[in-house]
Amino acid sequence: MRTGATFAYSRQKFRMVGQAQHEEKRVSTERIEGLAAVLTAVRNSEGMTQPRLTQHVGLGRSVVAQRVAELESAGLITDDGYGPSTGGRAPRRLRIRAEAGYVVGVDITAQRLVVGVADLAGTLLAQLEEVVDVADGPDAVLTTAERLIDDHLESIGRIARVWAIGIGVPGPVEFRTGQPVAPPIMPGWDRYPVRDRLAQRYGAPAWLDNDVNLLALAELRTNPAASAARNMLYMRADVGVGAGLVVKGELYRGANGSAGDIGHVAIPEGGDAICRCGNTGCLEAVAGGAALAREGRMLADTRQSPALAATLAETGTVRPLDVTLAAEKGDPAARALLQRSAHLLGGMLATLVSFYNPNLLVIGGGIVRARAHVLAAIREAIYRRSLPLATQDLRIEMSSLPDDLGGVTGAVHLALDEVFSPGRLARWLDAGSPAGQPYIATDDMLERPA
């Protein structure tokens, strides 16, 4: 009996310890999620006050006060004056301590590299740009990127305070591993450890994503209409064609990171046009920048476009921009070419609008320069071919971000969003900063060094 009683007591004690550990874990999770929610609200809303925080994050007033005090003690948020009084004492305004650290953004495009350093509020403090050819391979391009990053950090004198790095590339990315996967225009980059290389060099967590997702994220964080919309479709039409999806205010990447790769969807009008991905009939092959250049060259060679023929004679080439410039001069053939591309893009967007039903569509990339000649045609195709309910509240607009700022801005906000997410925050908060802890970007805690 004594043995049985002892066993029963031990079992009950074990169960109580397990329940206590479970409760402790639950409270800890709730605490971190509350801290992250308060921090995100302060980051993304200028002039946030504690009473507004209570409404915004859905936590009780005393809990919000505790989380604010904890974030202030950690040096992450601070006072920013007082907000308007509603009858009692004026409430404190809060802001993130932007000066506490720095994040790095790297935007790699087919022919350009942009590197920026920003504070913790996402404000770009410095930006450098250099011409590169992504086809030269990862070592050449990333060596140039590292040189520009070093120059930036040396200029502000805070090399040891890099908190996080965001990187964008013009190809498919497996977000979990931070590696490009079979990118069509990036020879030598397949499965190259881009994220890990920069993380190890700078001792900071790093994240890699495709360039269109970063452009969508830049809109979400800088465009009030995008922030308010919550469900947004971003399409970039440039040398390549791609889309970024935002669902309930968050990027949607799909199972492996390839959501939105619409440029390589076959369309009936694609015929046997060969795409850079190796397939035929892709949207990009007939409506992307390379297609515009190819068809523009044909119009110049056959003298169907006097303006493009003059450009070819003067420069020896025809670029997508030249087609836009010719259209602006009133060249009928150039205008017709842009209209055809717009109808093809609009047809694809109509399908996406009916399928996804966003309330905001933002169009960016080089096509923005031709907005006077393409926007009406894109709108017409969408409203003609989409379901009426899908377009009932749809707003369509061109991106307002400069072409050289969108990618690096998105890269900066990728780094900030990830490093301040609940799971990441829990892994570095006690240390005071994520600097020197590159392993927190990985999903596997076993990768943490001993």
What are the 10-residue block averages of pLDDT along the chain, 450 residues in total? Answer: 49 47 57 94 87 87 92 93 73 91 95 95 93 97 96 73 95 95 94 97 96 96 91 93 94 93 92 90 94 96 96 96 96 96 96 95 93 94 94 94 90 97 94 94 53
Torsional sign, CA 423, 441, 406, 397: negative
Rounded to whole angstroms, how far apart are CA atoms 267 and 276? 15
Q: What is the pLDDT of residue 45?
A: 83
40: tokens are: 């995100």
Are residue 332 and residue 235 in the same domain, yes or no? yes
Q: Are residues 246 and 131 in the same domain?
A: no
pTM, two decimal places: 0.88
Please say which residue of 96, 130, 146 terminates a domain: 96
Q: pLDDT tens for residues 213-260?
A: 999 999 999 999 998 998 999 999 988 899 999 999 999 999 999 999
Q: How do strand 112-119 and strand 124-131 relate by DSSP bridges?
A: antiparallel
Token pair for residue 277? 């991905």
- State the Cα–Cα distance between residues 191 and 182, nearest whole angstrom: 8
Range of the domain at 45: 2-96
The torsion angle over the Cα atoms of residues 143, 149, 152 and 155, rounded to 10 degrees, is -70
Same domain flag for 239 and 126:
no
Regarding whether 123 and 37 lie in a shared domain, the answer is no
Q: Pick from 440, 417, 429, 441: which is nearest to 44 by CA?
A: 417
- 222 is a domain residue: no
Q: How many CA atoms lie within 13 A of 256 on its CB side?
A: 8
Which of 96, 127, 147 is a domain's end point?
Answer: 96
Residues 385 and 267 in one domain: yes
> 142, 201 in Cβ contact below 8 A?
no
Number of structural domains (the chain) is 3
Question: What is the b/e burial string over 417-446, where b = at least 16 CB atoms within 10 angstroms of the residue's CB?
Answer: bbbbebebbbbbbeeebbbebbebbbeeee
> Are 252 and 387 in the same domain?
yes
**Structural domain includes residue 221:** no
Q: Is 73 helix (H, G, I), strand (E, B) or coil?
A: helix
194 touches 113 (CB < 8 A): no
CATH of the domain at 196: 3.30.420.40
> Which helix H or strand E contains 213, and what residues bound it?
helix 211-222
